[in-house]
Amino acid sequence: MTAKTVWESFKADSESVLEKVKELIREGNVRRVVVQHNGHTVAEFPLTVGVVGVVLAPVVAAIAALVALLKDCTIQVERTDTAAADEDTPASKSA
């Protein structure tokens, strides 16, 4: 069972970015969060599986601060999608 890497991106405004990033991290399959402004990567935050909220609080605060300063940002989220990888395996097709 191998995990596929899936990218999700969304435009961020300062009001909704905190809740959206927290929601994505709670889902548990987020590997990396990238903040881009005008097509350039401004910040990249690798996330480790099993990291708890106390450790993530500075990361979320940093993302919110960047979005507040830069205004028009794109947040890209790298995640692992084991469900999509499972569908591609021969065992799941024969079942």
If residue 52 lies in a helix (H) or strand (E), which one and from where to where?
none
Assess whether pLDDT exceeds 70 at residue 33.
Answer: yes
Task: Compute the mean pLDDT over every residue in the chain, rounded to the nearest whole number.
Answer: 74
What is the residue type of 45?
Answer: F
- Residue 34: other Cβ atoms inside 10 A: 18
Assigned token pair, 85: 């990888």
pTM for the complete prediction?
A: 0.69
Rounded CA separation 76/83 (Å): 20
Structure confidence by residue, pLDDT tens digits, 61-90: 787 788 777 777 888 888 887 665 455 545
